[in-house]
Amino acid sequence: MRLASLAIILALTATPALADDAALNTLIIDYQAFSLGEDPILASSQGDRPSLSRLPDPSLEADVARFQRLKELQKQLAAIAPSELSAEGELNREFLHWTLERRLQRLAFDEARMPFSSDDGFDGTMSYLASSTQMRTFSDGQAWIDRLNAVPAYYRAEIDNARRGVKTGFTQPRATSEQVLARAKAQAAAPLDSDPMLAPLDRLPASIPQEERDALRDEALGIVRDKIRPAQAQFVTFLETEYLPASRPELGARTLPGGERYYAWLVQDHTTTKLTPDQIHQNGLDEVARIRGEMDGVIAESGFKGDFAAFQAFLRSDPQFYATSREELLEKASEIAKRIDDQLPGWFATLPRLTYGVRPVPADLEADYTTGRYFPGNPRLGIAGGYMVNTYKLDQRGLYELPALTLHEAVPGHHLQIALGQEAQGVPMFRREADVSAFIEGWGLYAEKLGGEMGIYRNAYERFGRLSYEMWRACRLVADTGVHWQGWTLDQARACFTDNTALSPLNIEVELARYVSWPGQALAYKTGEMKIVALREKARAELGDKFDIRRFHDAVLLHGPMPLDMLERRIDAWIATEKAG
C-alpha cells in the first residue's frame, strides 16, 4: 500500500504543538498518515497528486491489514493518559478513541460484504469522482487514465466482498438487489461516447494542445469499452446468477446473521447516543404527534377549506406547485439560495470562504436518487461545493419543499457546516473530515428550522413544506426502527409518510428503499437536530441577555463535526465562558 507523500501528510495533519500533547500529536500524525495512505480518494481530496491515479483497495486482505493497524493504534492511544493532556488534547484523544473504536467495529461486522445500497455503492464511485475531479494539466488527464485502468480490479474485489455476503447470508433484501441490478444493467448498456467517466477529460484546459486532449480521450474511451464495460457486465451476471437468488426475503437488518446485535450497534453509531431502537421509535412517535399539530395550524392559516388529506392532495396535484422544466427548477433553487446568502451574516459570526454551486443530479444517477444532496467542495483544490437538485420527474418535485431542501443541502446547512469544518484552523484532519451523521445531518435539519427565523419561508405552503420535511425525518425514526427492529412490512413503514407528509409518491418510494438498504442512517437527522435545539435553548436560558445566536453557531460549528455527547460538553464549556466574559 503506497503512502501519500510525507510532505503532504505533515502539512495536513498539523496539530497545535503543546508540550504535554506531544505523544498524542505524534499518534494523530501516524493515524492520519495511515488513513491517507489507505484511502487515495481522501488523500487526493487533500491535495496529494499521486493519489489521483489510484482507487481504494476494498479487498478482505486489505481489511484484515486495516484491522491490525487500527488495533495497534488503539493500544498506543490507551497508553496516553487523558489527565496529562491540554483541554484540546483531551478532545482529540476522546475523538480519536471514538474513531478507532467505530472503524474497528465496522470491520468486525464485516460490512464490506454488502457493498451497495438502493442509491449508492461501489458501482457509483467513478460517477462521483468524474463529477468532482478537476482537470488542469496533462498529468491530471494521465492520472485519470490510471484510475480508469484500476476500475476492473476494484470491481472484482467488491464482487468478491458481495460473494462473501452470499456465502454468509449477509445480503440486501431482494427488492434492493433488483434495484441495483437495474442500475447495473443501465450502466453496462450506456452509450460509450456519453459515459460519465469520460467527462473529466472534456474539461481539460484549452492550453493543452488539441491532439494531446484527443489522445487522452481516445485512450479513455478504449479503456471504458475494452476493460470497464466487461467488468460492469460481469457485475450484472453476478447479480443475476448469484446475488439475486440469495437475497434475503425479509427487509429488516435484525433478520441478518447476528442482526440483532448489528442493528442495535448501527442505532448507536449513527445517532452517537446510547439510545435503544425502542427508545428511538418512541421519540419518533412523540415527534410525529407534535409536528402534526403544527401542520394543522398552518393549514388553517392558509385558508384552505378541507381536511389534512385534501390539503395533501392539493399540494401533490396543483400545477402552481411544480416547475415545468429542469432549468426552471434549478433557477428557483438558485434564487432561494441567494436569498438565504443575503441573510447569513446576521446569523453567523463566521462564514466560509468556499462558495457553492446549484447543479443537477447526474443523469445516470437521478432515477433512483434522493430529492437533493450536497457534494462537498475542496478549498485546497479550488473546487466549489455542489448543491445537487434532482430534476428528474418534475411532477414529483413540489416547489413548496424547495426552500427547506435548499436550507438543508446548501446554506446554512451542509455547505456552510462542511466548508467551515474544512477551513477550521488548529483542528486535525481526522476531525475535520469525520463522518458524524448525527452532527452533520442534525445540523442540516436544524438549518431548515432556522430558515423560519431567517424569514426564508414566504407563505403558508412553504411553511407547511418545512414541517412536512421535519415530519419526514420524524417518520424516519418510526419507519427505520419499525422495519429493522420490529419487523414491519413496507406498507406499515409507508403509512407514516403518506398519512403525515406532503412528500410525493416517488420521493416516498425512493426514501423507503434507501432506509431498507441502509439501516440506521436515517435515525441521525432528527436525533441530531433535537440535541442542537435543546443545547440552544439551554444556552439561551442560562445566558439570558448575553446569548448571541451568532456566537452560539460558531461554538457549534468551528471545531468540526463531533459526536453529540462531545458537542454537549463543548457547548456547556462555551456557556461557562460566556457567563464569565
Give tens-digit pLDDT for 82-130. 988 999 999 999 999 999 999 999 999 999 999 999 989 999 999 889 9
Kindly state whether residues 507 and 405 are assigned to the same domain: yes
Q: What is the per-residue pLDDT across 394-411, written as a single tens digit (0 to 9) for each?
A: 999 999 999 999 999 999
- In the numeric block, the cell 469522482 is attached to 129
Q: Which of 427, 553, 329, 558 is nearest to 92 (CA)?
A: 427
Q: What is the per-residue pLDDT across 12-42, written as a single tens digit (0 to 9) for each?
A: 445 444 447 999 999 999 999 999 999 999 9
Percent of the chain's residues with pLDDT above 70: 97
DSSP state of 138: H
**Whole-angstrom distance, CA of residue 129 vs CA of residue 151:** 12
pLDDT at 367: 83
pLDDT at 450: 98
Residue 132 CA, distance from chain mean position: 15
Kindly state whether residues 348 and 212 are assigned to the same domain: no
**17 vs 387: which has the higher pLDDT:** 387
pLDDT at 11: 46
Phi-psi region of 137 (alpha: psi -120 to 50; beta: other; left: phi over 0): beta
Work out how many domains the chain is built from and give that number. Answer: 2
pLDDT at 10: 41
User: Cα angle at 461 between 457 and 462, to 5 degrees?
Assistant: 30
Does residue 3 register a pLDDT over 50? no
Q: Which of 406, 420, 424 is nearest to 341 (CA)?
A: 406
pLDDT at 19: 42
pLDDT at 8: 44
Q: At 526, which helix (H) or strand (E)? A: helix 524-543
C-alpha distances out from residue 114 to 109, 118, 171, 228, 450, Å: 11, 11, 6, 21, 37
Query: Are β-strands 356-360 and 372-375 bridged in parallel, bridged antiparallel, or unpaired?
Result: unpaired
Kindly state whether residues 190 and 289 are assigned to the same domain: no
**Whole-angstrom distance, CA of residue 331 vs CA of residue 123:** 31
Q: Which residues pair with 383 in a beta bridge?
A: 378
Q: Do residues 153 and 125 make contact, with C-beta atoms less than 8 angstroms apart?
A: no
pLDDT tier, 1 (very low <50, low <70, confident <90, very high otherwise): very low
pLDDT tier, 173 (very low <50, low <70, confident <90, very high otherwise): very high
pLDDT at 382: 86
pLDDT tier, 6 (very low <50, low <70, confident <90, very high otherwise): very low
**Whole-angstrom distance, CA of residue 134 vs CA of residue 200:** 7
Query: Does residue 557 lie in a domain region?
Result: no
Query: Are β-strands 385-389 and 356-360 bridged in parallel, bridged antiparallel, or unpaired?
Result: parallel
Query: Which alpha helices (DSSP H) does 190-228 contain, by range?
Result: 199-202, 210-223
C-alpha distances out from residue 39 to 55, 109, 198, 409, 486, Å: 8, 20, 23, 26, 37
Query: Does residue 546 lie in a domain region?
Result: no
pLDDT at 128: 86
Q: What is the per-residue pLDDT across 434-483, written as a single tens digit (0 to 9) for each?
A: 999 999 999 999 999 999 999 999 999 999 999 999 999 999 999 999 99
Kindly state whether residues 329 and 437 are assigned to the same domain: yes
Range of the domain at 190: 6-255
Q: How far apart are the first and last CA of the chain?
A: 51
Kindly state whether residues 122 and 230 are assigned to the same domain: yes
pLDDT at 545: 96
Kindly state whether residues 191 and 297 are assigned to the same domain: no
Kindly state whether residues 232 and 293 are assigned to the same domain: no
Kindly state whether residues 269 and 171 are assigned to the same domain: no
Peptide bond between residue 200 and the one before it cis (omega within 30 degrees of 0): no
User: Cα angle at 580 between 578 and 581, to 5 degrees?
Assistant: 65
- As given in the structure block, the three cell numbers for residue 327 are 432549468
Kindly state whether residues 156 and 245 are assigned to the same domain: yes
Average pLDDT over residues 322-343: 98
User: Cα angle at 123 between 119 and 124, to 5 degrees?
Assistant: 60
Domain boundary among 220, 255, 290: 255
What pTM, to 2 d.p., does this model score?
0.92
Does residue 365 register a pLDDT over 80? no
Kindly state whether residues 42 and 166 are assigned to the same domain: yes
Domain boundary among 237, 255, 273: 255
CB atoms < 10 A from the CB of 389, how many? 26
pLDDT at 9: 43
Query: Does residue 550 lie in a domain region?
Result: no
Domain boundary among 255, 290, 319: 255
The helix/strand/coil state of 204 is: coil
Q: Which of 580, 568, 500, 485 is nearest to 530 (CA)?
A: 568
Burial category of 243 from C-beta neighbours within 10 Å (exposed 0-12, middle 13-18, buried 19 and up): buried
Residue 312 CA, distance from chain mean position: 29
Query: Does residue 572 lie in a domain region?
Result: no
Q: What is the per-residue pLDDT across 509-534, written as a single tens digit (0 to 9) for each?
A: 999 999 999 999 999 999 999 999 99
pLDDT at 98: 98
Query: Does residue 64 lie in a domain region?
Result: yes
Query: Does residue 384 lie in a domain region?
Result: yes
Query: Does residue 573 lie in a domain region?
Result: no
Residue 208 CA, distance from chain mean position: 35
Query: Does residue 538 lie in a domain region?
Result: no
Kindly state whether residues 324 and 185 are assigned to the same domain: no
Kindly state whether residues 64 and 185 are assigned to the same domain: yes
DSSP state of 358: E
